[in-house]
Amino acid sequence: MNDTAAVDEQEPIEVCLLAGKIMLQSGAETYRVEDTMTRIAKALGLAGSHSYVTPTGIMFQSDDMRWAKLIRIVERTTDLQKVAAVNDVSRKLSSRDVTAAEARALLMDIDTSRHAYPVGLQIAAAAISSGCFTLMFRGSLFDFLPGVVCGGLGFLAFILLHRLVKVKFFAEFSASFLIGIVASVLVMAGIGKELDKIIIGSVMPLVPGLLITNAVRDLMAGHLVSGLSRGAEAFLTAFAIGAGIAFVFTIL
Amino acid sequence: MNLVLHFITSFIASAAFGILFNAPKRTLLQCGFSGMLGWAAYILLGYRLDTIYATVASTIIVGVVSQIFARTYKKPVIIFSVSGIIPLVPGGMAYDAMRNFVEKEYNTAIQLAAQAFLISGSIAIGLVLSEVLNQIIRKIRMPRPKKVRAK
């Protein structure tokens, strides 16, 4: 009986941490994560909770009497579906439509759910958006097709390599290297005119544009640690991509 | 003709990025639409204004449109704003800066990096401004009953 009481006490904290973890892993900004956790805590009756969120871990304390809990975040992607789903759960909790146990089950489901679009569709989307970006950056119409080809191949290489080796830097480097090679070969073969435009368009799906912006937003909101570390992550990615392309130019 | 091409490509690019970011299926069109509006504003303002001002103005537009979408479809704002700002984000510039660094063209590289940083800062400013605008409008429209009670 003592055991069940302890579990009951732990449940609201677990729900808060799980929600925070999913949101942070799905690319929500730091202040949004903290806001959601505080709101859930309030709805579950945890008074005076504190959360400290950084891109690599979350610390959460419900009140003075209980221990603080820590959760480690290893991988971060952008997954808007999950952000929306957690938001729904938090809303339902606030309006008392679900209990803590139900919310926990819902969050578990969200946590294990996979990407809603098949990999083939994702690669197609990356390819088409690369072609479009080539045109938007004032490339000529001849550059559209090479942009599509390079963007698709690059993204495919990125996904495959990232599955194979868990080092993101390496996957990004090799993907952009492949993009550079294919783009140069296509331009040499007379398909496509402006190499620069093609390359910039096709690396867009890999480029950390969103990370940079989120880093600045975090800094502005006063989350200095998160902002700086997200900036470092963005810098590393940009460095990997730039190095991959530069490598191609030194070879040729 | 050129402008129409820009509209179409930016719509497709933003919607496609919605797929990459796993946005819910029913919101993809709206994602594309907010990206298109942002890019159209950026291109049209870019003729007259400096890049940074154009970026701030078009991000505010993206932010406001995303807030409206968020309220109509009951989804968090981030879904629409993330896909909307993708065309504006200086990813190409960040990459260009890095390429110059690696090629030992340090002067060009620093210039580009500073510009990329300023542009991403102005995107953040634009998003924050649109949020503030939204809060002000909401507060003016419906004064909270709590405040009256406090008085």
Taking contacts as CB-CB distances below 8 angstroms, the residues of chain A near B21 are 27, 78-80
Boundary residue ending a domain (A91, A112, A133): A112
Same domain, A41 and A125: no
Whether the per-residue pLDDT at B148 is higher than 70: the answer is no
A81, A122, A249 ranked by CB distance to B24: nearest: A81
Do B95 and A242 make contact, defined as CB atoms within 8 angstroms?
yes
Taking contacts as CB-CB distances below 8 angstroms, the residues of chain B near A122 are 19-20
Amino acid at B145: P
| CB within 8 Å of chain B, chain A residues 67-96 | 78-84, 87
Question: What pLDDT score was predicted for residue B138?
Answer: 82
How confident is residue B151, by pLDDT bands cut at 50, 70 and 90?
very low
Residue spans of the domains in chain B: they are: 2-142
Taking contacts as CB-CB distances below 8 angstroms, the residues of chain A near B123 are 213, 216
For A182-190, the CB contacts below 8 A with 24+ separation are: A182/A149, A182/A150, A182/A153, A182/A154, A183/A146, A183/A150, A184/A248, A184/A252, A186/A146, A186/A149, A186/A150, A187/A146
Boundary residue ending a domain (A95, A112, A129): A112
Cβ of residue A232 closer than 8 Å to a chain B Cβ: no
For chains A and B, what is the number of CB pairs under 8 angstroms? Answer: 149
The whole-number average pLDDT for the span B45-55 is: 90
Same domain, A140 and A234: yes
Contact B63, B129 (CB under 8 A): yes
Same domain, A185 and A76: no
Close Cβ partners of A244 (under 8 Å, ≥ 6 residues apart): A172, A173, A174, A175, A176, A177, A179, A180
Instruction: State the CB neighbour count (10 A cutoff) for residue A7.
Output: 10
Q: Convert the pLDDT of each residue in B97-121 to its tens digit.
A: 877 887 788 999 999 989 988 998 8
Same domain, A101 and A136: no
Here the tokens at position A251 are 């070879």
Question: What pLDDT score was predicted for residue A9?
Answer: 67
Instruction: State how many domains chain A has.
Output: 2
Q: How confident is the prediction along chain A (252 residues), in pLDDT tens digits per residue?
A: 445 555 566 778 888 899 999 999 888 888 889 888 988 888 888 778 888 898 888 988 877 677 788 888 888 888 888 988 998 899 888 888 888 888 888 888 888 888 888 889 999 999 999 999 998 888 888 888 999 999 999 999 999 998 888 888 899 999 999 999 999 999 988 888 888 888 888 988 888 777 877 888 888 888 899 999 988 988 888 889 888 988 888 887
The whole-number average pLDDT for the span B53-65 is: 93
Question: What pLDDT score was predicted for residue B107?
Answer: 94
Contact A202, A151 (CB under 8 A): yes
Same domain, A108 and A123: no
CA A17 to CA A22: how far, in whole Å? Answer: 9
Same domain, A163 and A224: yes
How confident is residue B147, by pLDDT bands cut at 50, 70 and 90?
very low
CA A171 to CA A154: how far, in whole Å? Answer: 10
ipTM of the complex: 0.84
Do A80 and B21 make contact, defined as CB atoms within 8 angstroms?
yes
| CB within 8 Å of chain B, chain A residues 138-197 | none
